[in-house]
Amino acid sequence: MRAAVIASLLLAGCTASQSAIGGAGDFRPDYQGVETRLLDGDLVNFRVRMSGARGPSDVTKYAECAAAQYALIRGYGFARHIRTTVEEDFGIWVADAVYTISPALPRGLRTIDAEVTVADCGVSEIPTV
């Protein structure tokens, strides 16, 4: 009996904390497109728009997904994050991100494997280019 009471309290606690932080059922993103500009050789700018984001990390991830797919389209396997700025205005989130793309793993700490990232974006239902 005591174990059942503890288990039900634990379950109730999980449910309450998920809804308090906006659980997965509350997340309804509207991905509104990607603008891509080749800046110079392997340097690419991505501007993505979305509504329904929980915060800057959602729109930043959308830009990363776009960069990974773009690298694959160009026949490259990797990208390196240079910078991202995020703005929110009346519920529309915009990320302006710059990445380099390359056939080999670039130097730096903020590199992404394009194939792995695109697969993860698919699982997360985040569209790519």
In this prediction the pTM is 0.79
For residue range 1-37, what is the model confidence (pLDDT) as tens digits?
Answer: 444 333 333 333 333 333 333 455 688 999 999 999 9
Inter-residue contact 50 to 32 (CB < 8 Å): yes
Instruction: 121-125: list long-range contacts, CB under 8 Å, 24+ apart.
Output: 121/61, 121/64, 121/65, 121/68, 121/69, 124/61
pLDDT above 90: percentage of residues in the chain = 73
Q: Identify which has the larger pLDDT, 17 or 122.
A: 122
Q: Identify which has the larger pLDDT, 42 or 109.
A: 42
For residue range 64-119, what is the model confidence (pLDDT) as tens digits?
Answer: 999 999 999 999 999 999 999 999 999 999 999 999 999 999 888 899 999 999 99
